[in-house]
Each structure stands twice: as structure tokens, then as C-alpha cells.
Amino acid sequence: MEKCIIWFRNDLRLQNNLTIKNLIDRNSSVLPIYILDTNSLGSASKTWLYRSLYELDKQLKNQLKVYDGNAVNIIERLIENYQITQISWNRKFDYKSIQEEQLVKNIAKKYNVREFIYNSSLLMNPEDTLKKDGTPYRVFTPFYKNNYLGLNHNAFSINTNDIIILENKEDKNIDLLKDHLIPEHTWYEKFDRYWEPGEIGAQKRLREFLDKGLLGYAEGRNRPDLDNVSRLSPHIHFGEISPNEVANSLGDIDNEDKERFYTELVWREFSHNLLFFNPKLDTTNLQDKFNSFPWLKNKAYLDAWQTGNTGYPIVDAGMRELWETGYMHNRVRMIVGSFLVKNLLHHWHSGRDWFKDTLLDADDANNNASWQWVAGTGADAAPYFRIFNPVTQSQKFDPNAEYIRKFVPEIGDLPNTYIHDPSNAPKTVLDNSGVKLGKNYPSSIVNLKESRQRALSAFSELKKTSS
């Protein structure tokens, strides 16, 4: 029987996983491994990873072996020690992982080990999505229409009893990673109230969404006070569920809700394509005219933003949702992002870094591409001069202020007319609601009109210098 290493990466599941399916089809025995690479992880997503590996290990009858170190050296040692004849993995699409895969391929070649490499994390390989002229798309709509409309999405199930685990002596269980992944700060413990990491949790989340969220998604997805979004993002990021399975579960895309949800899955593909074709997406503005943009650095502003103390309730609710749950609703991500880069004139990198550290779904492709989108520096981005007004956004998308009241309870007694902008509420209304600006809730840290004007002026200076 052939002996195969399966190198788990962002595909922490057994169902709908091509490496597993093909392993069983080949009738090979397996040494399942995971090699830690903390580069792309923030504090929150590390805690998720730990839990997710734990679940995968349980599914593999406690035979998942985990390592911390250089993937190439570790794999070479395992090939020698276990007379491995095959290796299999699912591709990742960031530059560092691509380089690493190349080195592992070289090792496989050296030992005459056959490699089986698949894509189980994107609906399409980036190389197959190019324009007719062979260049990558930079605009979403044609990217979507020309590649994804009418695409088939296969789902398949695995009989886990068919997985034959190779007998091995490696003393490398999950606990070895605990110190690397679980921080001393215990803020993450409350995430257990909201999430169930792992493949089983992902499946439950999908079913719940299909039962309760999908109907009305097209409109409801913009409302942080409603339960229409799937909250699948950390599960999808770690590959606990395959995007193909998610797309397949929609059946025929025959209504607006399904179409809109499918479009969001394709936005994820678009971000991964941007990262694949622009390996420096994290450091380089896709529109280089922004390289000389006069970003400000103001620690007090940044602290207020991070801790949810800007005096703009929708921004504060979003930042507190993030701290409380490790997640933030997409509409609110856009509002807090615009507020940081436009009203506070902070570089998008500072927002990206905070999100990377605190989001459970922190993802180098989605996070960098979305921040570039919000900042106006990216491909097919919101133009810089489109500046969200957090008060009108709040009135429109959280009309009854239920989301605000949940995360900013100290202003909960304000009437709906004033709760979106307490700094402009009459003193009597504040007094009657127990709100003392500057004491139990901050006054707004910037004036919206002035800060908007400041951003627009900086932008028009940029246009002059770059034209």
C-alpha cells in the first residue's frame, strides 16, 4: 500500500476535500500533518485555529500530527522516516505559500515521491480566470460574469471509515501548539458563546443560514440589526467548509437572494485573485497615486477607534462587536473603515492590522483587498471621494438602533431620533436618558463636515500632483 502525507493547510475538514477523496480512491494509507505558520495569523484567528485543529484531530481519531518549523525540512524528515511514496495538499494562493509549495515539490522530486495537488478553497483556480488577453481582471463585474455565471459546483461526501491512517511514532499532538496559539490575554474566551469552530460547527452554521438567513439576504445583508448574513467567514477561511459545497447548497441560482449571496462568494474569489496576481497587496497601493497621500498618525484617534470610543455610535458598536465576538458585520466594516481612513485620515494599514489581529476570519486576501477597496486605493475600489457619513448610514441600516443598543448600552435610553448622533442631541434629551457626554459616553472625536472636507482637500492635492 502506498504511503501518503496529507499536508493540511487552510482545508481543515474531511468532507468535500479533494486530498481526502483522492487518497481514498488511490487506496493509500495516510500520515495527516499540519505545519504551523503564524505569519498570516492574528491573535484571534490563532485561537480559532487551535480549536479547529482540535476538532480535525478528533475526526482523525487523534492521529493528526502537528509541527512548528520549516515545512520543507519537516516533510523531508517524514518522507525518509516513513518511506513515504506520495504527498498531497490543497493549494494556497499567497506568495509565501506558493514559494513554500515549490520547495516541497523539489523535495518530492528528490525522493521520487508523487505529488497530488488540488484546489479545494476557491471555486476556480486564479490562472483560469484571466481575460481574453491573458491578463487578470481588475474590475469585479466582468470577472464575475465571464467566469462564474453558470459554473457547476460539485459536492461529494467522504466515508471517514475509508481513511486508513499510517501507523506512526510521532509524538506531535495538538497540545504542542497551545503555547503558540493561545494568548495569555483571556478576551478570546467569550468567543465560545458565539462560535463553534471545526467542520461540524461549519455544517451547522450553513444549515442555519439556509433555513433562516438566506430568505431576504439580498436586502437584509446590509442590516447589522438583522440575522440575514451567514457568519460562515471564519469557517470558510480555515477551510472547514468548502466554498463549492456552500455554492452547491444554494441549488439553482434562481432568485435575487441566492444570486446576491453567490456574488459575495465570488467577491472572495476576486480578493484571492488580487492577492495571487499582486503578491504585495499588503504593502503596495494598487493605485500608486496614493503612495504620496498625506495620511495622519494620531494615536489618540486610533485608540478611540480601536476601543469603540469615537462618539459615533455605529462606529463604536462595530468596533465593540469585533472585540466582543471576533466578528463584525460587513456593512459596519465598511463604515468603520471609511471613518478611519477618511474622517480620521489614518493609513489603511492601521485598520488592516487591527482587523488582522482581532478578526476570527482575518484573511490576507479579503482583508487587504477590502481595506484597499474602502480606502479607494484598490482595484475596482470605492472612489476616495465617496465618504460614508456614519450617522446617515446608521439611520439607514440600523433604523431602530437595535444593533447600537446591543453593543453601546450606555446610550440605549436615547430616543431613536438622537441615538445615531448623541453629540447633536439637546441637553435635556441627554439628561433624561442618563447620557453624560465626555463622562459615560464620548463626545464625537471629529466633526463630520470638517473631517470630510479635510479628506477631500488632501485627495484633490493628490490629483494635482499626480496629473
Judged by the rule CB under 6 A, the positions of this chain that interact with ligand FAD are 221, 229-233, 236-237, 264-265, 267-268, 271, 330, 333-334, 337, 355, 359, 361-363, 366-367, 370-371, 374
Question: Is-contact 321 225, C-beta < 8 A?
Answer: no
CB 245 within 8 A of CB 15: yes
Residue among 170 and 264 whose Cβ is closer to ligand FAD: 264
Measured CA to CA, the distance from residue 363 to residue 30 in angstroms comes to 29
Least CB distance to ligand FAD at residue 221 (A): 5
Nearer to ligand FAD, 65 or 347 (CB): 347
Q: With residue 33 as reference, give the H or E element that holds it.
A: strand 29-36
Q: What is the distance between the alpha carbons of residues 50 and 219, in angstroms, rounded to a whole number?
A: 35
Least Å from the CB of residue 240 to ligand FAD: 11
CB of 346 to ligand FAD, least distance (A): 13
Q: How far is CA 329 from CA 128, 225, 256, in A?
A: 31, 9, 20
User: At a CB cut-off of 8 Å and minimum separation 6, what does 190 contact?
Assistant: 324, 325
Supply the minimum distance, in Å, between the C-beta of residue 376 and ligand FAD.
12
**Cβ distance to ligand FAD smaller for residue 241 or 404:** 241
> Does residue 137 contact residue 143 with C-beta atoms inside 8 Å?
yes
To the nearest whole angstrom, how small is the minimum distance from the Cβ of residue 269 to ligand FAD? 8
In angstroms, what is the minimal distance from the CB of 183 to ligand FAD?
Answer: 19
- Report whether 117 contacts 89 (CB < 8 A): yes
Nearest CB to ligand FAD, comparing residues 229 and 430:
229
By beta-carbon proximity to ligand FAD, the closer residue of 213 and 313 is 213
CA distance readout (Å), 352 to 41, 152, 337, 400: 13, 34, 9, 30
Euclidean distance between CA atoms 457 and 382, whole angstroms: 17
Q: How far is the CB of 95 from ligand FAD (least distance, A)?
A: 17
Contact 43, 12 (CB under 8 A): no
Q: Give me 235's grid cell.
A: 469557517
Of 218 and 429, CB closest to ligand FAD: 218
- Give the nearer residue to ligand FAD in terms of CB position, either 108 or 359: 359
Nearest to 82 by CA among 117, 111, 115, 110: 111
- Residues with Cβ within 8 Å of residue 151, at least 6 apart in sequence: 123, 124
Nearer to ligand FAD, 220 or 279 (CB): 220
**In the complex, what is the shortest distance from the CB of residue 262 to ligand FAD, in angstroms, rounded to a whole number?**
9
